[in-house]
Structure 1
Amino acid sequence: MAWPTHIVAVGGIAINEEGDILLVKTHHGGWVFPGGQVEVGENLMDALIREIKEESGIDVVVSQLIGVYSNTGMHKWYDGETDVPTKVMLDFICKPVGGELSTSEETSEVMWVAKEKVLDLISAAAIRTRYQAYLDFDGNTRYMDYVTGDAFEVKLDRTV
């Protein structure tokens, strides 16, 4: 029996004192809120703090889990050949506590964006859906199962 392989990732909706949202522009995915894969032996909070710092230069504290997402569709990586396994993503609200906006190897632009303007910049369906879940957040954690690839399809959407 082969053990299943999953990618575990975290995303951070960082909100400054003015209510603006931290966005980064990636080389492959356009504008997104920062986050990324959890490394072997790393906990979720440390991974998110590291990813946000790496991608944006901003230091954060993680305050609240808002969503858990499963991308259960197999698709090809940017190289067009490598299979990407099922991904489990956890999104958190974060508060900036220091650092300065800066780009990285992964990002070409970084900026604070008015909360109501974020969806004007984000084009990826999965990221838009997860950001909308943040906008709709009522204190109950959202769970969503979706498939990306040739098309984006939400298979399950509920609170837990």
Structure 2
Amino acid sequence: MKQFPTHIVAVFGIAENEKEEILLLKHRGRNIWMFPGGQVEVGENLIDALIRETKEESGMEIDVVKLFSVSSNTCSYQGYNGYDIVPTKVVMGFICRYIGGEFCDSDETTESLWVSKDKVLDLIVVPDFIDKFKGYLDFTGGIEYLEYITKPEYNLKLKCLI
């Protein structure tokens, strides 16, 4: 019997406040700065997933404004927490607007920071986050598509506008 391919669908948001600063969250386990986001759950749409993930990770509320990025992490690798294999990930990036709320830590985050756009690249160190943020900075209306692998090391395989 044939089997459908398996992909993880995920979302992330570049959330801006009224001063055009960007929301960064510090990941609890990896001690790195990141953008809010995560996996889309079964039966959940992309926008609701990003609103939920941001609320869970930061306690803050956002409006999802515009899609600016689609990417594929096409590597698969050994799983963890009882999962056999981590499959290809398809990740959509959205520009978001901060609505309100104060930061509260979570199982995934320890702190938040509002950063001017020109300082974000000084703080994020994960290569795909860097490439995605550069796509946000360069956004003029076309959707950027990235294909990359993260293991055994980061390799950007394709970057284009679609």
TM bracket (short chain):
over 0.9
Which runs of 4 or more aligned residues in structure 1 lie more than 3 Å from their structure 2 counterparts after TM superposition?
76-79
Alpha-carbon distance in structure 2 between the residues aligned to 1:4 and 1:148:
20
> Could you say what secondary structure the match of 1:3 adopts?
coil
TM-score (norm 2): 0.93
Q: Deviations over 1:27-78 (max 9, x none)?
A: 2441111100000000000000000111111101100000000000112346
**1:132–1:28: structure 2 CA closer, same or farther, 3 Å change rule?**
farther
> What's the Cα RMSD here?
1.6
Deviation at 1:99, TM superposition (A): 1.2
The amino acid of 2:26's aligned partner reads: K
TM-score (norm 1): 0.94
Residue aligning to 1:103:
105
Residue aligning to 1:154:
156
Q: How many residues align?
A: 160
Residue aligning to 1:19:
20
Task: Give unmatched runs, 5+ long, in structure 2.
Answer: none
Deviation at 1:101, TM superposition (A): 1.5
Alpha-carbon distance in structure 1 between the residues aligned to 2:13 and 2:54:
7
Q: Is the 8 A contact 1:101 1:111 kept in 2?
A: no
Identity %: 51
Task: Give unmatched runs, 5+ long, in structure 1.
Answer: none
Q: Is the 8 A contact 2:103 2:111 kept in 1?
A: no
Alpha-carbon distance in structure 2 between the residues aligned to 1:19 and 1:142:
21
